[in-house]
Amino acid sequence: MTSQVLSASSQMPEHCRPMSGSDTFRFACHSGVACFNECCRQLDLALTPYDVLRLKSRLKLDSGVFLGRYVIVEWEEGMRFPHCYLNTADDGRSSCVFVSGQGCGVYDDRPSACRAYPAGRGASRRVDGAVAEQYVLMREPHCLGFAAGPAQTVPEYFQAQGLADYNRYNDQLLQLLHHPQVRAGFRPNRAQADQYILALYNLDLFRREVMTGRIKMKQPLSPMEFRTLSAGDDRALLLLAVRWLMQEYFNECWTSAGYRSIDLAA
C-alpha cells in the first residue's frame, strides 16, 4: 500500500482515478476477504503529525521513543518539508510493523491513509482560508474489496472510517504548508527542518521545551493555555506547534484567539 493522503500537488498515482464528492463506489473490507492484510505489505506509509499523536498515545510511548522505534524521516533534494514514514518489518515483504494474522494491531488509532484506503484525499488552502478537497479512488490489483459492499461516496466512506478528526487536525498544517511564502518558494534550512520534526512529530519534547521556557512564544501563553498544555492536551499542543513554526519561519505572531484556525468545533 502506498500513502493515500495526497498533497494537492501530487501526481496521480498508478491505479488511481479522480472522484467527485457525489461519485459512488462499492467496497467492503473484512477479515473474510482472500486478500486480508495484503494492503499492509509493500508499505510506503506517510505519517501525519496527528497520526503520530494517535499512535504514540495508544502505545503509551514518549514521542521521541516512538520516532526512534517506528519512524523514518526523509528530507531530500526536491522535498519542501521533511516527510515521515512508518517503519516496516524486516520480513522480505515490507510489512507494516503493526500487522498480524488477526489484522491491524492499532486499528482504532490507525493512520489517516489506512482509514482512507482505497480512497485518498488531497486538501489545499484557498486564499480565503477555506479548505478545498479532491478525492481519488485506487483500484490496486491485490485489493478484492470492490467485489461487494454498499454503494457509497468517498465522503460517506471517510465518515464511516472515522476520518473526521484526522482531517481536521491534518488540515491545520495547511496554514503552514500552503503559506504564501511557501508558494513563493520558501524552503526551510536544516535548523528549520529540525524544528519542523521537533514541533510537529516529537510533541512530548516540544511540550518540555515550551514548559521550561527553552522554546519561547513571542506572544506568551495565557495561564489557561499553560494549564491546558501542562495537563497533557496533545491536540492543543499540536496547534501550538503550528503557531510556533509560523513564528519561526515567517515571523508571524498569533495568539490562539487571533490564529486563523480552521474551525475545530465543526
Question: 78-104 in b/e burial notation, b at 16+ Cβ within 10 A?
Answer: eeebbebbbbbeeeeebbbbbbeeeeb
Question: CB-wise, 96 or 200, nearer to ligand SF4?
Answer: 96
Where are any strands of DSSP class E within the chain? 5-7, 16-19, 24-26, 71-74, 83-86, 99-100, 103-104, 119-125, 131-138, 151-153
Q: How far apart, in whole angstroms, are the C-alpha atoms of residue 124 and residue 130?
A: 8
In the set 16, 19, 29, 137, which binds ligand SF4 (CB under 6 A)? 29
| CA angle (25 as vertex; 20, 31 as ends), nearest 5 | 135
In the set 46, 71, 99, 174, which binds ligand SF4 (CB under 6 A)? 99
In the set 114, 176, 177, 200, which binds ligand SF4 (CB under 6 A)? 114
In the set 145, 176, 178, 243, which binds ligand SF4 (CB under 6 A)? 145
6 touches ligand SF4 (CB under 6 A): no
Residue 87 CB, shortest distance to ligand SF4, in Å, is 11
215 touches ligand SF4 (CB under 6 A): no
Residue 16 CB, shortest distance to ligand SF4, in Å, is 15
| CA angle (77 as vertex; 188, 44 as ends), nearest 5 | 100
Question: CB-wise, 96 or 240, nearer to ligand SF4?
Answer: 96
Residues 31-50 that bind ligand SF4 (CB under 6 A): 33, 35-40, 43, 45
Residues 79-98 that bind ligand SF4 (CB under 6 A): 96, 98
Q: How far apart, in whole angstroms, are the C-alpha atoms of residue 97 and residue 120?
A: 22
Residue 45 CB, shortest distance to ligand SF4, in Å, is 6
3-state DSSP helix/strand/coil % of the chain, to nearest 5: 40, 15, 45
Residue 114 CB, shortest distance to ligand SF4, in Å, is 3
In the set 8, 144, 193, 217, which binds ligand SF4 (CB under 6 A)? 144
Place of cell 511564502: 181
Binding site for ligand SF4 (CB under 6 A): 29, 33, 35-40, 43, 45, 96, 98-99, 104, 106, 110-111, 114, 117, 142-145
